[in-house]
Amino acid sequence: MADDATKITLRESEIPQRWYNINPDLPAPLSPPLHPGTGKPIGPAELAPIFPMELIKQEVSMDPWVEIPDEVLRVYRLWRPSPLYRAHRLEKELGTPARIYYKNESFSPAGSHKPNTAVAQAYYNKLEGVKRIATETGAGQWGSALAFACCLFGLECTVYMVRASYEQKPYRRILMETWGAKCFPSPTDMTNAGRQIRAKFPDTPGSLGIAISEAVEDAATHDDAKYSLGSVLNHVLLHQTIVGLEAKAQFKLAGDYPDIICGCVGGGSNFAGAAFPFIKDKLSGKDITILAVEPQSCPSLTRGDFRYDFGDTAQLTPLLKMYTLGHNFVPEPIHAGGLRYHGMAPLISLLTNKGVIEPRAYHQLGTFEAAVTFARTEGSLPAPETAHAVRAGIDEALKCKDTGQEKCILIAYSGHGFFDLAAYDKYLTNQLQDHEYSREQVEAALKELPVIAEPSA
Amino acid sequence: MADDATKITLRESEIPQRWYNINPDLPAPLSPPLHPGTGKPIGPAELAPIFPMELIKQEVSMDPWVEIPDEVLRVYRLWRPSPLYRAHRLEKELGTPARIYYKNESFSPAGSHKPNTAVAQAYYNKLEGVKRIATETGAGQWGSALAFACCLFGLECTVYMVRASYEQKPYRRILMETWGAKCFPSPTDMTNAGRQIRAKFPDTPGSLGIAISEAVEDAATHDDAKYSLGSVLNHVLLHQTIVGLEAKAQFKLAGDYPDIICGCVGGGSNFAGAAFPFIKDKLSGKDITILAVEPQSCPSLTRGDFRYDFGDTAQLTPLLKMYTLGHNFVPEPIHAGGLRYHGMAPLISLLTNKGVIEPRAYHQLGTFEAAVTFARTEGSLPAPETAHAVRAGIDEALKCKDTGQEKCILIAYSGHGFFDLAAYDKYLTNQLQDHEYSREQVEAALKELPVIAEPSA
């Protein structure tokens, strides 16, 4: 291909046919999820009321590759293969000898990487006769991806949307409704969990933790409904590896290979999708720097403990071994809502603990500065979450400017910021602030956690 | 290629290198633009204060092909070639034997076809040493495209945005500002035109006509600034032909060719871009139906007169021979703001008058119904303007269902509806209405027009 190519594009026939499962390649075994009540390892049967069996199998699979069903591939083709861009204009603006690439997931109908797993999850649910999927959503990125996927497979979709977002950010709600989903401001009076919270706190703005509890209860108490999660779990990360597998094929076409990979992490699915196929090479000896970028106001990887904790505030989910700030930690209200999670995917946590992944935390203002530089050179407007990866990519390129090293940098460009323009407005008019996490708050939140022993092998 | 392909994708190297100029192929010569004061044909020198000479040359060029400069092609590559989709899921939903394709322009950074000309115009202005471009915008589609283009070429961009939109629809304004443009609610106190209106009507919500007057005055009174228009003019339509030229190459790859082309028309640039390269074949004898789709509430092609009229309310622009509802016609406030224009591109007007293009008008509710059907099958959310083309495509496909004909239908998919979700919300909650144009209002508006004689050849 020409050296000055802007996009490296695969043909439809070149979409990878398998997802990559990193589980068998890990440098140490994953600690099992534990039952929230008994503290004992949780089995497939206990998850069956809320997940279809095929996804439970994927969650614990030790097969290195998982075939992507044809029906899923057919939907993927609406936006996949996604383009790998060479950021010539950004490089020029920075005056760096580095080669910067970005894998652009913003062209999916929902505008982010989320549909990669939403489509797969909807398919497996449909296959097992499920009629309806319940889920939670904060600002609506995940809810809109699942609404889209359910719509294409003829499934009903119930979304418990954090009340504050439901009221203040109607656009993603309307997007979900356009795709036929039913959205409710959480807490609702449709579940026990919701009713209890409303009785205690009638004016609560809701939280992701409460919304998870409602969606799980909905699925567990209705035979024809299941629950779906948009990040954290192994099978979700598995589905996202299509991103990195495509990127590898594209780098091969370009005759290049990344020295540095930058991805933002909230629950970890976007990062894992882009990075895991390259981490496979790193685990085989390849020299790559893998940067997991999180907000300073919610620094689970850089400041949290690696231990068992609950996935939700209400302590209803299984206990997961992960980097956590404590399930009672409430991050500052930064605009990168998708990164405001107290924990981290167990797979990413383990790889970070083993030194394979290097975590890094950024302040909000710096990420918006990077996002505007990106928009003014490459044209595209990054989501505030994506802006964290862009910031890291720019910083690495600027280091190359200092050292003269011609490194190859890959930015995982997870989504667009068309629904985040109010945040850009605040940045451009100097109304944005940086939020430091409170060390005291984290220490207090961690101190409250019960100490859970690692189960014996 | 496989018969079940979802997208027909060209490589970067296959981007057309020339725009197609339909002017020499027209079945009759275009009537010249006339000076608004003298009524005499207007010459290049009179346009020089507001347009760069290269664009004035393109405006009157009789060359069938115009080379696309390398610098423009390099920016095009950020989103071009755009994919041609086969709408398998929509076909299945409709149960039609028709093959439906859509050429998707929604992946440009500004989300529509508009950057195809914005980038070219910014380039030619830059080449001639212009420092700043002034333009008007309604809801912001055009303004954001020009802001993006100016940003990449290092030009300043001043956007006079209709005050009502500036205040009620801040998102596209923020997008423009993120790309570095300066936006002002029009009428401003920065121009004579603006000051006069404000003195008379202090509370005016503004109008596109007033904003045009302000932008033209700004350009005409500043040596280092020029003016830019996003539709109607020949050179604007010329730049958009990249869309149809790519589509032709893609149909060739697919081994198919359209029997019917559907595009929405406001000023006409999106429609012309998709259709003109196929109209070239039609003028050489090929049997194609070319549908220009407009709103019932602003039916210039289906109800207007073919005559000389002003492009703006304030009667400052040259007189153009076109289908018009009269420059004083104020359409109902439908959500497809880009189609609310009293006139029509002279090129499209002539081809409609000669029977080459078939006009059709739709009510708003039907277009939103089609848009939701499209979103629920193909995933993408059409802009309200684009929804007019989608409605026509669906109707033609349903006709095929009745007749059993296996026609090939091309929909010009001009942009996404992410900034129009409030309109979708109104549709989904039954708050949208249909607006009939007022026959009396059109007759009155046309009666007021001075009768301008065709200049002798």
Q: Is there a contact between B372 and A178 if contact means CB atoms under 8 Å apart?
A: yes
Predicted local confidence at residue A367, as pLDDT: 97
Measured over the CA atoms of residue A243, residue A249, residue A253 and residue A258, the dihedral's sign is positive
Q: Are B168 and B141 in contact (CB under 8 A)?
A: no
CB contact (8 A) between residue B177 and residue A425 = yes
A151/B376 Cβ within 8 A: yes
Looking at chain B, which residue has its C-alpha nearest residue A83? B79
Give the Cα separation of A428 and A388 in Å (integer). 17
A204/A164 Cα distance (integer angstroms): 9
Distances (CA, A) of B188 to B142, B193, B211: 19, 9, 9
Comparing CA positions, the residue from A285, A279, A301 lying closest to residue A410 is A279
pLDDT for B35-83, tens place per residue?
Answer: 988 889 998 899 999 999 999 999 999 999 999 999 999 999 999 999 9
DSSP label at residue A416: B
CB contact under 8 A, A177 and B425: yes
Q: ∠ CA(B438), CA(B443), CA(B445), 5° rounding?
A: 95
Task: For B422-450, write each residue's pLDDT tens digit.
Answer: 999 999 999 998 877 777 878 888 888 87
Q: How far apart are CA A181 and CA A136, in angstroms?
A: 12
Comparing alpha-carbon positions, the chain B residue that sits nearest to A76 is B6
Please indicate whether, in this complex, the C-beta atoms of A380 and B109 are within 8 angstroms of each other: yes
- What pLDDT score does A3 carry? 59
CA distance A238 to A18: 10
Q: Which of B6, B166, B420, B432 to mutate to test the interface with A (most CBs of A within 10 A)?
A: B6
ipTM of this complex: 0.95
Question: pLDDT, tens digit, for every residue of B296-312?
Answer: 999 999 999 999 999 88
Judge whether A150 and A156 are in contact, CB under 8 Å. Answer: yes
pLDDT tens digits for range B184-242:
999 999 999 999 999 999 988 888 888 998 999 999 999 999 999 999 999 999 999 99
- The C-alpha atoms of residue B288 and residue B244 are separated, in whole angstroms, by 14
Task: DSSP letter for A34, please.
Answer: B
Q: Identify all chain A residues contacting B178, using CB atoms and an 8 Å cutoff.
A: 372, 375-376, 381, 421, 424, 428
DSSP string, B241-288: HHHHHHHHHHHHHHT---SEEEEE-SSSHHHHHHHHHHHHHHHTT---
Q: Which residue, chain included where needed, has tokens 């009510």? A: B363
**CB < 8 Å to B177, chain A:** 424-425, 428
Report chain A residues whose CB lies below 8 A from the CB of B152.
89, 377, 379
Long-range contacts of B440-448 (CB under 8 A, 24+ apart): B441/B329, B442/B303, B442/B304, B442/B325, B442/B326, B442/B329, B444/B326, B445/B325, B445/B326, B445/B327, B445/B328, B445/B329, B445/B342, B446/B304, B446/B305, B446/B324, B446/B325, B446/B326, B448/B326, B448/B328
What's the pLDDT tens digit per position in B243-271? 999 999 999 999 999 999 999 999 999 99
Question: 3-class DSSP state for residue B447?
Answer: helix
Q: Which residues of A touch B4 (CB under 8 A)?
A: 74
Contact A425 B6 (CB under 8 A): no
Model confidence at B2: pLDDT above 60: no
Taking an 8 Å cut-off on Cβ atoms, the answer to whether B7 and A178 are in contact is no
Task: Report the chain A residue with the minimal C-alpha distance to residue B172.
Answer: A421
Give the mutation candidate from B12, B176, B369 for the A interface (greatest A CB count, under 10 A).
B12
- Local structure of B360: helix, strand or coil: strand
Q: Determine the 3-state secondary structure of B232 from DSSP.
A: coil
pLDDT number for residue A175: 97
Q: B115: pLDDT confidence band, cut at 50, 70 and 90? A: very high
Query: From the CA atom positions of chain B, what is the Rg in Å?
Result: 21
One-letter-per-residue 3-state SS of B40-100: CECCHHHHCCCCCHHHHHHHHCCCCEEECCHHHHHHHCCCCCCCEEECHHHHHHHCCCCEE
Query: CB A89 to CB B7 under 8 A?
Result: no
Euclidean distance between CA atoms B140 and A407, whole angstroms: 39
Chain A residues within 8 A of B109 when measuring between CB atoms: 375, 379-381
Judge contact between B240 and B16, C-beta under 8 A.
no
Distance from CA of B430 to the nearest CA of A (A): 13
Q: Under a CB-based contact definition with an 8 Å cutoff, are residues B241 and B211 in contact?
A: no
Query: Do B421 and A179 count as a contact with CB atoms less than 8 A apart?
Result: no
Alpha helices in A291-437 (DSSP H): 300-303, 346-353, 364-378, 384-403, 421-428
- B422 in contact with chain A, both atoms CB, cutoff 8 A: yes
pLDDT of residue B81: 96
Q: Which of B175, B377, B380 sits opposite A421 (nearest CB)?
A: B175
pLDDT tens string, chain A, 457 residues long: the values are 445 789 999 999 999 999 999 999 999 999 999 998 888 999 889 999 999 999 999 999 999 999 999 999 999 999 999 999 999 999 999 999 999 999 999 999 999 999 999 999 999 999 999 999 999 998 899 999 999 999 999 999 999 999 988 988 899 999 999 999 999 999 999 999 999 999 999 988 888 888 998 999 999 999 999 999 999 999 999 999 999 999 999 999 999 999 999 999 999 999 999 999 999 999 999 999 999 999 999 999 999 999 999 988 778 889 999 999 998 887 888 888 889 889 999 999 999 999 999 999 999 999 999 999 999 999 999 999 999 999 999 999 999 999 999 999 999 999 999 999 999 999 999 999 887 777 787 888 888 887 888 887 5
- Listed by number, the residues of chain A in 153-172 with a beta carbon closer than 8 Å to a beta carbon of chain B are 170-171
Cα–Cα distance, B118 to A126 (Å, whole number): 45
Provide the whole-model pTM.
0.96
Q: Which domains does chain A have, with CATH numbers?
A: 7-14+79-111+241-446 (3.40.50.1100), 18-66+113-234 (3.40.50.1100)
Q: What is the dihedral of CA B5, B7, B11, B16, to 10 degrees?
A: 120
Token digits of residue A150: 């359910």
| Residue closest to B15 by CA, chosen among B83, B115, B112, B111 | B83
**pLDDT for the residue A37:** 87
Place of tokens 């060719």: B257
The structure tokens listed for A123 are 């398919």
Query: CB distance A422–B174 less than 8 Å?
Result: yes
